[in-house]
A and B are shown apart, each in its own frame.
Chain A
Amino acid sequence: MLFGGVILLASFAYLGILFAIAYWGDKRADAGRSIIANPYIYALSMAVYATSWTFYGSVGRAAASGVGFLPIYLGPTLMAALFWLVLRKMIRISKANRITSIADFIAARYGKSGLLGGLVTLIAVIGVIPYIALQLKAVSTSFLILLQYPEVAMPAKGQRVGLLQDTALYVALLLAAFTLLFGTRHLDATERHEGMVAAIAFESLVKLVAFLAVGVFVTFGLYHGFADLFEHAMRLPDVDRLLTLGNAAGTYGSWAWLIALSMLSILFLPRQFQVSVVENVNESHLAKAVWLFPLYLLAINIFVLPITFAGLMQFPPGTLDADTFVLTLPMAHRQEALTLLVFIGGLSAATGMVIVETIALSTMICNDLVMPLLLRWKVLALGSRSDLSGLLLGIRRGAILLLMLLGYVYYRAAGEAYALVSIGLVSFAAVAQFAPAMLGGMYWKQGTRNGALCGLSLGFLLWAYTLLLPSFAKSGWLPLAFIEEGPFGIAWLKPLALFGLEEMDDISHALFWSLLGNVGTYVGVSLFDRQGIREHAQAVLFVDAFKISGRGASPWRGSASLEEVMTLIGRFLGPVRTEDAFAQYAAGCGLRSWQALEPDAELVHFAETLLAGAIGASSARVMLASVVKEEPLGMDEVLNILDEASQLLAYSRQLEQKSAELEAATAELRAANERLQELDRMKDDFISTVTHELRTPLTSIRAFSEILNDNPELDARQRARFVAIIVKESERLTRMINQVLDLAKLESGRAEWHASELDLRTVIEDAVATTSQLLEERGASLTLQLPDEVPRVRADRDRLLQVLLNLISNAAKFCDRDAGRIVIALRVLPDALQVDVSDNGCGIDPADQETIFEKFRQVGDTLTEKPQGTGLGLPISRQIIRHFGGKLWVNSARGQGATFSFSLPLAGVAEEDV
């Protein structure tokens, strides 16, 4: 026997188990050893999708439309294939921004708009409350049916039970209490509820087992397997209609619409967002959920048709609602335990949905509806209250209670009006309105807040007009004429055939118009709208979620004090939790304690995200703005930032250019350095040579001086000879010093020049006169070959004389010892004068002809007598002639004398003058 007491006891025992699991799950989570951190629990928690609407309603829908129950499960199965693309992105975005609800998600995407968050919350609440009512109805109806056991009949209809006798009220209150107990035990910064998820996963398991048990009992207990059952079923009158598409199941179009609708629902129902996004522990769990979740849906649907057919065959038509077949079939066959299991299964399905849905909605109501209003309501002076975490919990608990009561009220008012399945689809259509703003927000950067606001509003209005109002009319709250003739008799405004669009079922029709209006407005307004800076930053953050690795702080400038920020966060999360969070953040920054934190943009961003977990993105922003003296970032400043960026770019280009120049300069320097080192080495050689040359006469001078000093007894002849050597060597030394200095002056360009117009002939004659004594000593004859007239040249007379003296004395030195002959010839060339000084000496080897012009390079004509001279005469002469733009060279062959020649250009001499 199943007494009411037994049923209640079983129910409470079951809820107790659930609570134990939840409690255990929370404890483990606090201890850091999560029990839900695996893909199987994750996939099972997703199965909160299957509510009592699935548990009882699928059979009801199958009885009415055959395979028409399938699209609701095909949609999610199809969407599961896209989970890795879409859901993973939602998870990534939500984790990065601490998003705790779908309202938060949309609000955050469109510039943390409080208005948008509120609108989404409103739509979700209005859309989902009937769905909650549906669960209450399912539980209370199944309870009432069970109470009549062993009689199998529908509970009495039409009679209004008193409020206090209404099972549904107690169910509602019980569920509310239960939800409060483990949905809002504490305020979690991330708003994750591990215990709840564990309980929900367990519930998914229970409802699956219960449904499979009934299926197995019906198929293999009442019949001999599927074949036998379907064979019997073929005798049913309507069976063709139920098993084929295109008639009872609706048109193919309806199928497509239903599949699309349920595809969107699996993503955007608040409870689905809660379990699959907010409660997700690890993105990678999705990989398994992608096939586990569809598998679950398949399993829970396998026995839908067998149970439907069995119910239709077992019970006389019209006596029982097909919705109750799952329960009434085991009842009719006195399977008490199975019946109880089914009831518990149905309870699981209902409680799971209600708990998650109300928790999700209460978060939205609290964060996106109540808090923004309270924060704006200055009278409450919320900003100055010390600890708001209690208030937050209070708001959430109140919201849960309110939702349950609203659900109950809706059930009381409309519970009998509409079939279960239809209410579910109405809810689906409502949350489908989130799709454009959500998907657009995730994949289209241009989507704007205004676009989302307008799209959502219009979609919601059209949904209300084409689905909600007609359901009201069907419930008798509005005249049926509203549906049949249109408002005020305007036919094209008929809510079920808007603008004359007929021949679609209600859901497809509503979905078509609402989504058309929604998407059209969203895209249209967005295209003609401009995003604010913050909005654009958020858009990039969302759309590029996979590209952005770290947190993306929007451009922010302002100042804040760490204490103020901490105090603010502390008000909502409690001081201990806040310090923990900041300490962790500080540790992440490599700081020893949170006191060392700098209140910079990063920290403010962190605080905002932390707060967003508790009170939602838009409220968090408002709150933080109160302590952070944020300087608004105007277009000017953004332009400035861009300008700075482009300047930086220019600088970097300049730097590149500079560095290239530097490299070139370095190369030049290196070359110059090498040249300098070469010159240095040459200078070293020169000095070394000069000292050597100077030491030579000095050696003789010193040696003879000492000899003369040490040998007073030397005879006069020898003494005179040694003194003569000393004098000669002294002269040589002096000459050498003078010439070295002279050459140094010439080479460095510091020599003085006294230019004048001169007749070269007179210079030659002077030179000959000066050297006449030397020539006489040598016994050399000299012949002058001078033209009668030569052009005057402008040059330094003394310098020219120096060259000539050098050449003549060289010639005198090297000419033939016995019959020396020297010829000096002056010739007038077209553009120059040329002087040749020839001797009849032994000549110079061709190999030595360039060497003799090098410093200190003398080529001795004899091995026994070192040539007199310094070895600097020719180099100096060449320098002088070059200065006047001329050339000095030698023509000679061994044994045939040598001719030294120099030329002086006629033009240009004057210009050379300094």
Chain B
Amino acid sequence: MSKRVLIADDEPNIVISLEFLLQQEGYQVEVAHDGQEALDAIERQPPDLVLLDIMLPRLSGFDVCQRIRANPDWSKVRVVMLTAKGREVEVSKGLALGADDYITKPFATKELLARVRDQLAG
């Protein structure tokens, strides 16, 4: 059974690239274009990992992360934050809210895939 990854990002071209990369690795990929959509998707079927952008319409990535961690049923869901905001403060905040890793945009595709692999292996 291949691992399921949820991509939550509102930038269509980035979504396309991520979708391509992850599918190529053999993951089952689902896409959400805003925070609420992401939560709904998780609700339907919790993925193994969420690639979560912070600057999401309707519900920010921080909020989504917080809700995931607030629900004990989703404790196994890995959360990797993905954002163009690379400031220290954001990193600390994300990790403090329970994110498992943090990747800044623009990212190196190989590194991104390695991180995702690590999270899903651990």
Contact = CB atoms under 8 A, between A and B. Distances in A.
Contacts of B20: 707
Nearest to A732: B13
A818 interface: no
A748 interface: no
A84 interface: no
Interface in B45-89: 55, 57-58, 84-87
Nearest to A714: B20
Contacts of B12: 865-866
Given A691-B84, A703-B107, A729 B13 contact: yes
B106 A698 contact: yes
Interface in B1-47: 10-14, 16-18, 20-21, 24, 33-34, 37
Contacts of B117: none
Nearest to B105: A699
Given A691-B84, A696-B11, A863-B33, A702 B16 contact: no
Interface residues of A, number: 26
A668 B8 CA distance: 49
Interface in A687-708: 688, 691-693, 695-704, 706-707
A725 B12 CA distance: 10
A289 B104 CA distance: 100
A860 interface: yes
Of A703, A711, A865, the most chain B CB neighbours within 10 A belong to A703
B108 interface: yes
A699 B14 contact: yes
Contact of B16 (A693, A695, A725): A725
B92 interface: no
Contacts, number: 70
B17 to A, nearest CB: 4
Given A707-B21, A866-B11, A699 B107 contact: yes
Nearest to A700: B13
A710 interface: yes
Contacts of A697: 13
A701 B106 CA distance: 9
A866 B109 CA distance: 23
Contacts of A706: 108-110
Query: Mostly helix, strand, loop or mixed at chain A's interface?
Result: helix
Given A688-B85, A710-B109, A700 B11 contact: yes
B24 to A, nearest CB: 8
Nearest to B54: A692
Most A CB atoms within 10 A — which of B13, B84, B85?
Answer: B13
Contacts of B16: 700, 725
Contacts of A729: 13
B83 to A, nearest CB: 8
A700 to B, nearest CB: 4
Contacts of A863: 33-34, 37, 57-58
Interface in B87-122: 87, 104-110
Contacts of A703: 14, 17-18, 21, 106-107, 109
Contacts of B21: 703, 707
Contacts of A710: 109-110
A864 B109 contact: no
A691 B24 CA distance: 30
Contacts of A699: 11, 14, 17, 84, 105-107
A865 B107 CA distance: 22
Contacts of B55: 692
A693 B106 CA distance: 11
Contacts of B58: 863
B17 A704 contact: yes
Contact of A695 (B13, B18, B24, B106): B106
Interface string A728-761: 1100000000000000000000000000000000
Contacts of B107: 699, 702-703
A410 to B, nearest CB: 112
Nearest to A703: B17
B17 A696 contact: no
A692 B107 CA distance: 13
B57 A860 contact: yes
Contacts of A692: 55, 84-85
Nearest to A706: B109
Contacts of B84: 691-693, 695-696, 699
Nearest to B16: A725
Contacts of B105: 695-696, 698-699
B59 to A, nearest CB: 11
Contacts of B106: 695, 698-699, 701-703
B57 to A, nearest CB: 6
B111 to A, nearest CB: 10
Contacts of A702: 106-109
Contacts of A725: 13, 16
B21 to A, nearest CB: 7
Interface in A867-913: none
Contacts of B24: 711
A706 B34 CA distance: 26
B87 A688 contact: yes
Nearest to B10: A866
Nearest to A721: B16
B64 to A, nearest CB: 15
A238 to B, nearest CB: 122
Nearest to B17: A703
Contacts of B14: 696, 699-700, 703
Nearest to A866: B10
A700 B17 contact: yes
Contacts of B10: 866
Contacts of A860: 57
A698 B33 CA distance: 19
A728 B13 CA distance: 10
Contacts of A691: 84
Interface string A797-829: 000000000000000000000000000000000
Nearest to B18: A703
Nearest to B36: A863
Nearest to B21: A707
B6 to A, nearest CB: 16
B93 to A, nearest CB: 14
A768 B108 CA distance: 42
A720 to B, nearest CB: 14
A292 to B, nearest CB: 90
A688 B87 CA distance: 9
B110 to A, nearest CB: 8
Contacts of B57: 860, 863
Nearest to A726: B13
A578 to B, nearest CB: 80
A272 B13 CA distance: 119
Contacts of B13: 697, 700, 704, 725, 728-729
Contacts of A688: 85, 87
Nearest to A698: B106
Contacts of A693: 84
10 contacts: A691-B84, A696-B14, A696-B105, A697-B13, A699-B84, A702-B109, A706-B109, A729-B13, A860-B57, A863-B33
Interface of A: 688, 691-693, 695-704, 706-707, 710-711, 725, 728-729, 860, 863-866
Given A695-B106, A706-B108, 19 more contacts: A691-B84, A695-B86, A695-B104, A695-B105, A696-B14, A697-B13, A698-B106, A700-B14, A700-B16, A700-B17, A702-B107, A703-B17, A703-B21, A703-B107, A707-B20, A860-B57, A863-B33, A865-B12, A866-B12
**Top 3 A-B residue pairs of the complex, sorted by shortest distance between their CB atoms:** A695-B84, A703-B17, A700-B13
